């Protein structure tokens, strides 16, 4: 690794799914732990902050970019181990891992069909969909520990996974690789069809025609908040109990507030799925921030609910 692998002034638009963001002052792609350690050390010596980037599918970088070093984790190797386990580097795409599981007739990742991004990003945020979560499959995580910069191995239990959260999100650390425990399936066709079903669902119901960063806000699962919403919108009660498993999808409420299709500059609240704020036409990060602020304000004043972002803002 030499200094010239650290490139100055690289557009972050090109590294995020929502295609927004100014430049990173410094940018580097790494696929080995040695190079990663070099970069962390370099940032420390240059006294600049660093930010770890996976697939950039859950991020909004500010219009002024990132005044530090963006390290894109690109190691993508993975393999099958005895006992139906997959070991994979953090930069492996979830799409490749899901496909690999299907090919080897292994069950456990069907829910992740169509989930964008890398393994590292999915572990940090305990990504989930259709009732599945990363925590169901992850048995071990190798992480470059914050502060010490030593490689540590954590079990799935010690990774403290919860709804869109983990010890890595709470305490930092760079996920290097992980082990996933899957189970052999009786019927290969079933794994394939369940996975393809999820991919098709996303293509139908998510606004894939525009750049986006996935669901913008976390769904509501706090019982008190749910009661407050039902006090106003009692007609949702049956769906909460029977269809949504005691959660309320934020998309339903945003649509109820009449905000579907709301446009600010190039940003738009999707008409297809109101919990997506899409980059409809050359949106700036500021357009996105204002749009999300309008949603949050109205949600607070009408339902008394403070929404929490699922996407992450960086460099603001
Ligand atoms: C169309 C669409 C649909 C989506 N659907 C879902 C869904 O159903 N469920 C869901 O949970 N999410 C969903 N997302 C959001 C996103 O895909 C996931 O959160 C994904 O797991 C993020 O992975 P990433 O590699 O893109 O992370 P990035 O966006 O690159 O980064 C996200 C965070 O993870 C950190 N990070 C990345 N790599 C590492 C690493 N190796 N070590 C430590 N930290 C790291 C970054 O610093 C950042 O804080 C969706 C996004 C899109 C665009």
How would you write 44-96 as a 3-class SS string?
HHHCCCEEEECCCCCEEECCCCEEEEEEEECCCCEEEECCCEEEEECCCEHHH
Q: Whose CA is nearest to atom 21 of ligand 1?
A: 122
Q: What is the pLDDT of residues 228-287, one digit of tens each?
A: 999 999 999 999 999 998 899 999 999 999 999 999 999 999 999 999 999 999 999 999
310 is catalytic: yes
Q: Whose CA is nearest to atom 8 of ligand 1?
A: 129
Residues with CB under 6 A from ligand 1: 17, 51-59, 73, 90, 115-118, 120-122, 124-125, 127-129, 168, 174-175, 206, 212-214, 312
- How many CA atoms lie less than 13 Å away from 308 in the CB half-sphere? 9
Tell me the mean pLDDT in the region 223-229.
95
Residue of 214, 276, 288, 311 to test ligand 1 pocket, by largest number of atoms within 8 Å of CB: 214
Q: Is the pLDDT of residue 147 over 90?
A: no
Query: Which pLDDT does position 134 carry in this prediction?
Result: 98
How far away, in angstroms, is 257 Cα from ligand 1 center?
A: 28
Cα–Cα distance, 55 to 116 (Å, whole number): 8
Q: Is the pLDDT of residue 209 over 60?
A: yes
Please give the DSSP secondary-structure letter assigned to residue 289: H
For tokens 């960063």, what's the residue? 213
Please state the domain extents for the chain: 3-73, 78-203, 207-314
Query: Which pLDDT does position 208 carry in this prediction?
Result: 95
Domain 3-73 adopts which CATH fold?
A: 3.30.43
Say what the pTM is.
0.95
Burial of 75 (0-12, 13-18, 19+ CB in 10 A): buried
What stretches of 180-249 show up as alpha helix (H) in DSSP? 188-205, 223-232, 237-238
How far away, in angstroms, is 56 Cα from ligand 1 center?
A: 7
Please give the DSSP secondary-structure letter assigned to residue 240: I
Q: Is the pLDDT of residue 108 over 80?
A: yes
232 is catalytic: no
Domain 207-314 adopts which CATH fold?
A: 3.90.78
Residue percentage of the chain with pLDDT more than 70: 99
Mean pLDDT, the chain, integer: 96
The reply to whether domains 78-203 and 207-314 share a CATH topology is no
Tell me the mean pLDDT in the region 194-210.
96
Quick one: which atom of ligand 1 is closest to the CA of 57?
26
Query: Which pLDDT does position 188 carry in this prediction?
Result: 84
Residue percentage of the chain with pLDDT more than 90: 94
Q: Is the pLDDT of residue 2 over 60?
A: no
How far away, in angstroms, is 44 Cα from ligand 1 center?
A: 25
- 78-203: CATH architecture: 2-Layer Sandwich (3.30)
Nearest to 1 by CA among 43, 29, 20, 23: 29
Q: What is the pLDDT of residues 149-198, one digit of tens each?
A: 899 999 999 999 998 999 999 999 999 999 999 999 988 899 999 999 99
Q: Is the pLDDT of residue 4 over 80?
A: no
Tell me the mean pLDDT in the region 62-91.
98
Tell me the mean pLDDT in the region 42-59.
97
Query: Which pLDDT does position 316 carry in this prediction?
Result: 95
166 is catalytic: no
């Amino acid at each position: 690794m030499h200094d010239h692998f650290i490139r100055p002034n690289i557009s972050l638009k090109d590294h995020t799914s929502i295609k927004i963001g100014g430049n990173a002052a410094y940018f580097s792609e790494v696929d080995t732990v040695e190079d990663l350690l070099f970069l962390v050390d370099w940032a420390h010596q240059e006294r600049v902050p660093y930010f770890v980037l996976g697939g950039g599918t859950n991020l909004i970088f500010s219009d002024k970019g990132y005044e530090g070093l963006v390290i894109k984790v690109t190691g993508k190797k993975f393999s099958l181990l005895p006992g139906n386990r997959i070991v994979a580097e953090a930069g492996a795409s979830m799409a490749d891992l899901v496909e690999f599981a299907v090919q080897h007739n292994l069950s456990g990742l069907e829910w992740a069909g169509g989930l964008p991004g890398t393994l590292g990003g999915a572990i940090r945020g305990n990504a989930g969909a259709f009732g599945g979560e990363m925590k169901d499959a992850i048995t071990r995580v190798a992480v470059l520990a914050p502060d010490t910069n030593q490689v540590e191995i954590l079990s799935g239990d010690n990774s403290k996974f919860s709804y869109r959260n983990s010890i890595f999100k709470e305490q930092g650390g760079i996920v290097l690789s992980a082990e996933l425990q899957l189970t052999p399936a009786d019927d290969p066709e079933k794994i394939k069809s369940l996975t393809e079903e999820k991919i098709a669902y996303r293509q139908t119901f998510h606004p894939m025609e525009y750049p986006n960063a996935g669901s913008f806000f976390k769904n509501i699962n706090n019982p008190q908040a749910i009661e407050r919403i039902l006090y106003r919108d009692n007609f949702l009660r049956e769906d909460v109990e029977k269809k949504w498993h005691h959660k309320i999808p934020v998309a339903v409420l945003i649509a109820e507030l009449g905000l579907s299709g709301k446009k600010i500059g190039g940003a738009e609240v999707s008409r297809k799925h109101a919990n997506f704020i899409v980059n409809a036409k050359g949106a700036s990060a500021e357009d996105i921030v204002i749009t999300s602020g309008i949603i949050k304000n109205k949600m607070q004043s009408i339902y008394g609910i403070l929404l929490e972002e699922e996407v992450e803002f960086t460099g603001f």
